[in-house]
């Protein structure tokens, strides 16, 4: 019997959607045309697993069930290229699921290293932080940090 795959990323994004709606914000997510950063022609990046545009910021959630830096570095690329769709500073919440403390330790070290280099290169065009969680309940603290940018 085949086990149903749980959509961990989708489940945690629900909390962020609820919080954004609490303050009356529209939420952009998925691969649709309203959530793309066009690079050239039909080449694009997804503008976050979830994005909320406030008056001041593009608030972006990238949810990962594995380690990696692609969803950090793509914003560096876009900010360096001065792509038109990014009109405000980005606040990036990069959220990683861990099964144990040691999960993706090297990926997270690399992520922090690249974030620091990126901050030096692009300055106040981005605020990026990575978060880890083990259980669905651990998301509350991250959502509370997200809420601070909505009020």
Q: Which domains does the chain have, with CATH numbers?
A: 8-147 (3.40.1350)
Under 8 Å between Cβ of 91 and 57? yes
Distance, C-alpha 87 to centroid of its chain: 17
- How far apart, in whole angstroms, are the C-alpha atoms of residue 141 and residue 131? 10
- pLDDT by residue (tens digit) across 61-115? 999 877 789 999 999 999 999 888 899 999 999 999 888 777 778 889 999 999 9
Other residues' Cβ atoms within 10 Å of the Cβ of residue 8: 14
pLDDT(1) > 80: no
150's CB contacts (< 8 A; 6+ apart) are 19, 20, 22, 23, 25, 52, 54, 59
Q: What is the pLDDT of residue 105?
A: 82
């Amino acid at each position: 019997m085949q086990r149903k795959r749980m959509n961990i990323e989708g489940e945690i994004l629900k909390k962020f959607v609820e919080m954004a709606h609490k303050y009356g914000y529209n939420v952009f997510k998925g691969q649709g045309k309203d959530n793309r950063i066009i690079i050239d022609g039909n080449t694009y990046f997804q503008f976050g697993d979830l994005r909320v545009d406030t008056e001041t910021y593009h608030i972006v959630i990238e949810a990962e069930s594995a380690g990696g830096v692609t969803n950090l570095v793509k914003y560096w690329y876009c900010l360096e290229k001065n792509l038109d769709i990014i009109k405000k500073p980005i606040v990036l919440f990069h959220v990683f699921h861990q099964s144990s403390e040691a999960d993706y330790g090297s990926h997270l070290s690399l992520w922090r290293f690249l974030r620091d280099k990126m901050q030096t290169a692009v300055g106040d065009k981005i605020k990026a932080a990575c978060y880890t969680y083990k259980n669905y309940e651990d998301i509350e603290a991250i959502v509370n940090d997200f809420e601070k940018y909505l009020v």
